[in-house]
Amino acid sequence: MVEINKEARVYVAGHRGLVGSAICRALKSAGYTNVITRPRAELDLCDRAAVDRFFGAEKPDYVFVAAAKVGGIHANNTQPAAFIHDNLSIEINLIDAAYRHGAEKLLFLGSSCIYPKLAPQPIREEYLLTGELEPTNEPYAIAKIAGLKMCESYRRQYGFNAISVMPTNIYGPGDNFDLETGHVLPALIRKAHEAKVSGAKEMGVWGTGNPRREFLHVDDLADACLFCMQRYEDSLALNVGVGDDVTIRELVETVCDVVGFEGELVFDTSKPDGTPRKWLDVGRLADLGWRAKIGLRDGITDTYRWYLEQGGALAAE
């Protein structure tokens, strides 16, 4: 275990995003006093020279790479070029600059959707690159795999202390509630809320409702990231999840219950289901001593509360 000095310079790339903002909250509450962030208007992470100048000036000791172009099944399907380009650029620029400017350690965030589409369940870390990817998000997945391989390669060739974690589907305060680009959980909260408020008799759900997904609250993920920054040092990208999954139908039923929408669910099977299941084996992280603490129902309640505080749909535009 490495006890990180509370005055260490800790850079969180992507601090306005769902995961980055949760990491910042977790760092602050753990007493870190030197958390460095830069808004996109001041630092474009796709601009290599700018990233290099930033690292040269700030010299962060610890780096969390929570910056990424992310989106749900529809966004991935319709903007493949942007997904592969932006993610590759961000990874190359950040990982290389962190190494060259002498960072102590870097944590890179992968994603469970980079495992093979038909991986055996629950998915163990070593199943990476053992089969074909899910076509709806292949460009994103290829870019994220490249990021993991960069961490692994920089560790092997240069001895750079770069680690990667593989979170399952993340949700929570700060989520993207846009119906076109967002992921399923915030989209369903918004749909259920709007259906309730407008008195609609039914609400639409994409796909068959049969795919299974695992959902991890972002505050649990942030806690796991801090834990791994201090306790994990290996090239294998470590799974982070809750150890349990639900069908989309079960998810929408829980969401409707929390939100208070009692109408009919209409499954639109013209929309893609995506991968049938992506349930992570979290045994390795559990063996190190970390477990998720926030249950799905409590997490949805917390996320719905945040959504309402933001003014509901208006704030999501």
What residues act catalytically? 140
**Strands 246-247 and 212-213, bridge-based pairing:** antiparallel
Q: Which is nearer to ligand GDP, 130 or 210 (CB)?
A: 210
Q: Which is nearer to ligand GDP, 85 or 212 (CB)?
A: 212
Here the tokens at position 13 are 């790339």
Considering only residues 181 through 220, tell me which ones interact with ligand GDP, judged by CB under 6 A: 182-184, 187-188, 191, 205-207, 211, 213
Question: In the complex with ligand GDP, which residue's Cβ is closer, 60 or 72?
Answer: 72
Output the DSSP codes for the chain: -----TTS-EEEETTTSHHHHHHHHHHHHTT---EE---TTT--TT-HHHHHHHHHHH--SEEEE-------HHHHHH-HHHHHHHHHHHHHHHHHHHHHTT-SEEEEE--GGGS-TT--SSBPGGGTTSSPPPGGGHHHHHHHHHHHHHHHHHHHHH---EEEEEE-EEESTT----TTTS-HHHHHHHHHHHHHHHT-SEEEEES-S--EE-EEEHHHHHHHHHHHHHH---SSPEEES-S--EEHHHHHHHHHHHHT--SEEEEETTS---SSB--B--HHHHHHT------HHHHHHHHHHHHHHTTTHHHH-
Round to whole Å and give the CA distance between 69 and 46: 11
Interface residues for ligand GDP in 238-267 (CB under 6 A)?
A: 248
Footprint (CB under 6 A) of ligand GDP, residues 121-140: 137
The piece of 5-13, 46-54, 178-186, 292-300 that touches ligand GDP (CB under 6 A) is 178-186
User: To the nearest whole angstrom, how small is the minimum distance from the Cβ of residue 263 to ligand GDP?
Assistant: 15
Contacts with ligand GDP, 1-30, as mask; x by CB under 6 A: ------------------------------
Residue closer to ligand GDP, measured from CB, 73 or 106: 73
How many residues belong to the site for ligand GDP (CB under 6 A)? 21
Q: Which of 113, 141, 189, 296 binds ligand GDP (CB under 6 A)?
A: 113
44 versus 244: smaller Cβ distance to ligand GDP = 244
**Minimum distance from residue 241 beta carbon to ligand GDP (Å):** 13
Q: Which residue carries 């199943």 as its tokens?
A: 127
169 interacts with ligand GDP by CB under 6 A: yes
Q: Nearest Cα to 89, choosing from 65, 60, 105, 58?
A: 65
Q: Exposed, middle or buried, 166 (CB in 10 Å: 0-12/13-18/19+)? A: buried
The nearest distance, CB 274 to ligand GDP, in angstroms, is 3
Nearer to ligand GDP, 182 or 299 (CB): 182
Closest distance between ligand GDP and the C-beta of residue 75, in Å? Answer: 8
Q: Which of 17, 20, 72, 172 binds ligand GDP (CB under 6 A)?
A: 72
Which of 172, 127, 118, 119 shows the shortest CA–CA distance to 145? Answer: 127
Give the one residue of 121, 230, 273, 306 binding ligand GDP; rule: CB under 6 A. 273
Shortest approach of ligand GDP to residue 70 CB, angstroms?
10
- Interface with ligand GDP in residues 26-45 (CB under 6 A): none
Nearer to ligand GDP, 205 or 242 (CB): 205
Residues at the contact surface with ligand GDP, assessed by CB under 6 A: 72-73, 113, 137, 169, 182-184, 187-188, 191, 205-207, 211, 213, 248, 271-274
